[in-house]
Amino acid sequence: MLLDLDELDYMHRKIKWFSVNSFNIFSFFDRDHGPGQDEPLRPWIETQLAAAGIKTGTGRIMALCLPRILGYAFNPLTVYFCYDEQQQLAGILYEVSNTFGERHSYLFKIGQSEAKGGSQNKINSMQDGSTLHRHSCEKRLYVSPFMNVEGKYHFRVKSPANDLFLHIHQTDREGPILDAWVRGKRASIQTSSLLSNLLRFPLLTLKVISGIHWEALQLWLKGVGLKKRPAAPSHPVTIIHNNLDH
Protein backbone atom coordinates (compact mmCIF):
# COMPACT_ATOMS: atom_id res chain seq x y z
CA MET A 1 0.00 0.00 0.00
CA LEU A 2 1.02 3.60 -0.65
CA LEU A 3 -0.46 5.48 2.30
CA ASP A 4 -0.70 9.21 2.96
CA LEU A 5 0.02 9.43 6.70
CA ASP A 6 -2.40 12.34 7.01
CA GLU A 7 -5.24 10.22 5.57
CA LEU A 8 -4.91 7.26 7.93
CA ASP A 9 -7.59 8.42 10.36
CA TYR A 10 -9.97 9.07 7.46
CA MET A 11 -9.33 5.59 6.06
CA HIS A 12 -9.88 4.11 9.52
CA ARG A 13 -13.34 5.70 9.63
CA LYS A 14 -14.42 5.18 6.03
CA ILE A 15 -13.01 1.83 4.87
CA LYS A 16 -14.72 -1.12 6.56
CA TRP A 17 -11.88 -3.64 6.30
CA PHE A 18 -9.01 -1.27 7.11
CA SER A 19 -8.03 -0.04 10.59
CA VAL A 20 -5.26 2.01 12.17
CA ASN A 21 -3.64 0.65 15.34
CA SER A 22 -6.39 -1.93 15.83
CA PHE A 23 -7.11 -5.40 14.47
CA ASN A 24 -8.86 -5.81 11.12
CA ILE A 25 -8.47 -7.78 7.92
CA PHE A 26 -6.07 -5.03 6.79
CA SER A 27 -4.44 -2.65 9.25
CA PHE A 28 -1.60 -0.19 9.73
CA PHE A 29 0.18 0.02 13.10
CA ASP A 30 2.49 2.92 13.89
CA ARG A 31 4.65 0.67 16.07
CA ASP A 32 5.55 -1.46 13.05
CA HIS A 33 7.63 1.46 11.78
CA GLY A 34 10.00 4.22 12.82
CA PRO A 35 10.82 4.15 16.55
CA GLY A 36 8.37 1.29 17.15
CA GLN A 37 6.03 3.24 19.40
CA ASP A 38 2.27 3.59 19.65
CA GLU A 39 2.48 7.23 18.58
CA PRO A 40 1.70 8.90 15.25
CA LEU A 41 4.55 8.31 12.84
CA ARG A 42 4.60 11.68 11.10
CA PRO A 43 6.17 13.78 13.92
CA TRP A 44 9.07 11.31 14.18
CA ILE A 45 9.71 11.49 10.43
CA GLU A 46 9.53 15.29 10.52
CA THR A 47 12.21 15.30 13.24
CA GLN A 48 14.51 13.24 11.01
CA LEU A 49 13.85 15.51 8.03
CA ALA A 50 14.63 18.60 10.09
CA ALA A 51 17.91 17.05 11.29
CA ALA A 52 18.87 16.56 7.63
CA GLY A 53 17.97 20.13 6.70
CA ILE A 54 15.01 18.98 4.61
CA LYS A 55 12.16 21.47 4.69
CA THR A 56 8.74 19.97 4.00
CA GLY A 57 6.37 22.03 6.13
CA THR A 58 2.90 20.53 5.87
CA GLY A 59 3.72 18.59 2.71
CA ARG A 60 2.54 15.01 2.29
CA ILE A 61 4.44 12.00 3.61
CA MET A 62 3.60 8.84 1.70
CA ALA A 63 4.54 5.43 3.15
CA LEU A 64 5.07 2.49 0.79
CA CYS A 65 4.68 -0.66 2.88
CA LEU A 66 2.83 -3.89 3.40
CA PRO A 67 -0.20 -3.60 5.69
CA ARG A 68 -0.91 -6.13 8.37
CA ILE A 69 -3.18 -8.84 7.02
CA LEU A 70 -5.20 -10.53 9.76
CA GLY A 71 -2.89 -8.94 12.31
CA TYR A 72 0.50 -9.87 10.80
CA ALA A 73 3.06 -8.12 8.60
CA PHE A 74 6.81 -7.99 8.15
CA ASN A 75 8.26 -5.17 6.08
CA PRO A 76 11.87 -5.75 5.01
CA LEU A 77 11.66 -2.26 3.50
CA THR A 78 9.33 0.69 4.01
CA VAL A 79 9.87 3.75 1.83
CA TYR A 80 8.68 7.21 2.85
CA PHE A 81 8.27 9.77 0.06
CA CYS A 82 8.38 13.22 1.70
CA TYR A 83 7.02 16.22 -0.22
CA ASP A 84 7.24 19.94 0.42
CA GLU A 85 4.28 22.30 0.42
CA GLN A 86 4.66 22.81 -3.34
CA GLN A 87 4.16 19.04 -3.81
CA GLN A 88 7.78 18.56 -4.87
CA LEU A 89 9.66 15.52 -3.61
CA ALA A 90 12.08 16.78 -0.96
CA GLY A 91 13.36 13.63 0.75
CA ILE A 92 13.20 9.85 0.71
CA LEU A 93 13.57 7.74 3.83
CA TYR A 94 14.36 4.04 3.32
CA GLU A 95 13.52 2.04 6.45
CA VAL A 96 15.17 -1.39 6.54
CA SER A 97 14.08 -4.04 9.05
CA ASN A 98 15.69 -7.39 9.74
CA THR A 99 14.22 -10.57 11.19
CA PHE A 100 16.00 -9.96 14.51
CA GLY A 101 13.70 -7.07 15.42
CA GLU A 102 16.20 -4.37 14.42
CA ARG A 103 15.55 -1.40 12.17
CA HIS A 104 17.66 1.27 10.50
CA SER A 105 16.81 4.00 8.01
CA TYR A 106 18.71 5.86 5.29
CA LEU A 107 17.60 9.42 4.57
CA PHE A 108 18.34 11.18 1.28
CA LYS A 109 17.69 14.81 0.43
CA ILE A 110 16.11 15.31 -2.97
CA GLY A 111 16.39 18.67 -4.67
CA GLN A 112 17.90 20.89 -7.30
CA SER A 113 21.42 19.93 -6.30
CA GLU A 114 20.79 16.59 -7.98
CA ALA A 115 20.52 18.17 -11.38
CA LYS A 116 23.64 20.29 -10.94
CA GLY A 117 25.89 17.27 -10.54
CA GLY A 118 27.52 18.64 -7.39
CA SER A 119 25.59 16.29 -5.18
CA GLN A 120 25.99 12.56 -5.25
CA ASN A 121 22.29 12.17 -5.88
CA LYS A 122 21.45 11.95 -9.56
CA ILE A 123 18.26 12.27 -11.57
CA ASN A 124 17.39 10.92 -14.98
CA SER A 125 14.37 11.22 -17.22
CA MET A 126 12.54 8.03 -18.12
CA GLN A 127 10.79 7.33 -21.41
CA ASP A 128 7.41 8.36 -19.99
CA GLY A 129 8.83 11.75 -18.96
CA SER A 130 8.93 10.98 -15.24
CA THR A 131 11.98 11.55 -13.04
CA LEU A 132 14.16 8.68 -11.93
CA HIS A 133 16.13 9.44 -8.76
CA ARG A 134 19.41 7.61 -8.25
CA HIS A 135 21.42 7.56 -5.03
CA SER A 136 23.54 5.21 -2.96
CA CYS A 137 24.92 4.70 0.53
CA GLU A 138 26.96 2.35 2.66
CA LYS A 139 25.09 -0.55 4.26
CA ARG A 140 24.79 -0.01 8.04
CA LEU A 141 22.43 -2.70 9.34
CA TYR A 142 22.92 -6.48 9.57
CA VAL A 143 20.14 -7.94 7.43
CA SER A 144 21.02 -11.41 6.18
CA PRO A 145 22.92 -13.86 8.40
CA PHE A 146 24.86 -14.84 5.27
CA MET A 147 26.14 -11.32 4.51
CA ASN A 148 28.50 -9.05 6.41
CA VAL A 149 27.59 -5.45 7.16
CA GLU A 150 29.57 -4.06 4.25
CA GLY A 151 29.04 -2.89 0.72
CA LYS A 152 26.63 -0.37 -0.72
CA TYR A 153 22.98 0.04 -1.59
CA HIS A 154 22.23 1.69 -4.94
CA PHE A 155 18.67 2.97 -5.28
CA ARG A 156 16.70 3.94 -8.36
CA VAL A 157 13.20 5.18 -7.66
CA LYS A 158 10.38 7.22 -9.17
CA SER A 159 8.15 9.52 -7.21
CA PRO A 160 4.91 7.49 -7.30
CA ALA A 161 2.29 8.77 -9.72
CA ASN A 162 0.16 6.47 -11.87
CA ASP A 163 2.77 3.79 -11.48
CA LEU A 164 5.56 2.77 -9.13
CA PHE A 165 9.18 1.85 -9.80
CA LEU A 166 11.83 1.00 -7.23
CA HIS A 167 15.11 -0.86 -7.83
CA ILE A 168 17.68 -1.73 -5.18
CA HIS A 169 21.09 -3.00 -6.27
CA GLN A 170 23.50 -4.13 -3.54
CA THR A 171 27.24 -4.55 -4.13
CA ASP A 172 30.33 -5.38 -2.13
CA ARG A 173 34.04 -5.38 -2.97
CA GLU A 174 33.62 -8.46 -5.15
CA GLY A 175 30.66 -7.17 -7.18
CA PRO A 176 26.85 -7.44 -7.22
CA ILE A 177 25.14 -9.54 -4.55
CA LEU A 178 21.47 -8.50 -4.66
CA ASP A 179 18.88 -7.03 -7.03
CA ALA A 180 15.31 -6.31 -6.00
CA TRP A 181 12.49 -4.51 -7.78
CA VAL A 182 9.06 -3.21 -6.84
CA ARG A 183 6.74 -2.26 -9.71
CA GLY A 184 3.06 -1.48 -9.68
CA LYS A 185 0.12 0.45 -11.11
CA ARG A 186 -1.95 2.83 -9.02
CA ALA A 187 -5.39 1.66 -7.88
CA SER A 188 -7.60 3.27 -5.27
CA ILE A 189 -7.97 1.68 -1.85
CA GLN A 190 -11.62 0.75 -1.37
CA THR A 191 -13.49 -1.93 0.50
CA SER A 192 -14.10 -3.85 -2.74
CA SER A 193 -10.46 -3.66 -3.88
CA LEU A 194 -9.22 -4.79 -0.46
CA LEU A 195 -11.42 -7.87 -0.53
CA SER A 196 -10.36 -8.62 -4.10
CA ASN A 197 -6.70 -8.47 -3.15
CA LEU A 198 -7.33 -10.60 -0.07
CA LEU A 199 -8.73 -13.33 -2.33
CA ARG A 200 -5.79 -13.00 -4.75
CA PHE A 201 -3.07 -12.83 -2.08
CA PRO A 202 -4.56 -14.25 1.14
CA LEU A 203 -1.25 -14.99 2.87
CA LEU A 204 0.94 -12.29 1.32
CA THR A 205 2.48 -10.94 4.52
CA LEU A 206 3.10 -14.43 5.87
CA LYS A 207 4.64 -15.39 2.52
CA VAL A 208 7.26 -12.62 2.90
CA ILE A 209 8.70 -13.90 6.18
CA SER A 210 8.27 -17.55 5.13
CA GLY A 211 10.13 -16.87 1.88
CA ILE A 212 13.00 -15.22 3.74
CA HIS A 213 13.47 -18.22 6.01
CA TRP A 214 13.06 -20.71 3.15
CA GLU A 215 15.80 -19.02 1.13
CA ALA A 216 17.99 -18.92 4.24
CA LEU A 217 17.50 -22.65 4.71
CA GLN A 218 18.52 -23.30 1.11
CA LEU A 219 21.71 -21.30 1.55
CA TRP A 220 22.53 -23.05 4.81
CA LEU A 221 22.02 -26.49 3.22
CA LYS A 222 24.41 -25.45 0.44
CA GLY A 223 27.06 -24.81 3.07
CA VAL A 224 27.05 -21.01 3.04
CA GLY A 225 28.50 -19.89 6.35
CA LEU A 226 26.77 -17.63 8.85
CA LYS A 227 28.17 -14.20 9.62
CA LYS A 228 28.37 -12.83 13.14
CA ARG A 229 25.71 -10.22 13.89
CA PRO A 230 27.16 -6.93 15.13
CA ALA A 231 25.16 -4.44 17.18
CA ALA A 232 22.76 -2.25 15.24
CA PRO A 233 23.80 1.40 14.72
CA SER A 234 23.27 3.50 17.83
CA HIS A 235 21.34 6.13 15.88
CA PRO A 236 18.21 4.93 14.07
CA VAL A 237 18.72 7.06 10.95
CA THR A 238 21.75 7.63 8.74
CA ILE A 239 21.56 10.97 6.94
CA ILE A 240 23.25 10.71 3.55
CA HIS A 241 24.87 13.96 2.39
CA ASN A 242 27.19 12.62 -0.30
CA ASN A 243 26.06 9.48 -2.07
CA LEU A 244 27.66 9.04 -5.47
CA ASP A 245 25.97 6.38 -7.57
CA HIS A 246 28.10 5.03 -10.38
Residue 246 placed within a domain: no
User: Above 90 in pLDDT, residue 127?
Assistant: no
Residue 245 placed within a domain: no
207-228 pLDDT, tens digit per residue, is 999 999 999 999 999 999 999 9
- Domain extent, residue 207, equals 2-240
Collapse the DSSP code of 219 into the 3-class scheme (helix H, G, I; strand E, B; otherwise coil) and give the result: helix
Residue 228 placed within a domain: yes
- For residues 13 and 9, give the distance between their C-alpha atoms in angstroms, rounded to a whole number: 6
Helices (H), the chain: 8-14, 41-51, 112-116, 191-200, 204-221
- For residues 91 and 94, give the distance between their C-alpha atoms in angstroms, rounded to a whole number: 10
Predicted pLDDT at 5: 98
CA 176 and chain centroid, separation: 21
In our burial notation (b when 16+ CB lie closer than 10 A, e otherwise), range 118-127 reads ebbbbeeeee
Residue 62 placed within a domain: yes
Q: What are phi and psi of 124, to 5 degrees?
A: -140, 155
Residue 60 placed within a domain: yes
Share of the chain above pLDDT 90, in %: 85
CA 8 and chain centroid, separation: 18
Total of domains in the chain: 1
What does the mean pLDDT of the chain come to?
90
Collapse the DSSP code of 133 into the 3-class scheme (helix H, G, I; strand E, B; otherwise coil) and give the result: strand
User: Above 80 in pLDDT, residue 186?
Assistant: yes
pLDDT confidence of 115, banded at 50, 70, 90? Answer: very low
The answer for residues whose C-beta is within 8 angstroms of residue 11's C-beta and 6 or more apart is: 3, 18, 20, 189
Residue 30 placed within a domain: yes
Collapse the DSSP code of 239 into the 3-class scheme (helix H, G, I; strand E, B; otherwise coil) and give the result: strand
Which DSSP category does 66 fall into? P
Residue 158 placed within a domain: yes
Q: What is the mean pLDDT of residues 85-108?
A: 96
Residue 47 placed within a domain: yes
CB 84 within 8 A of CB 56: yes
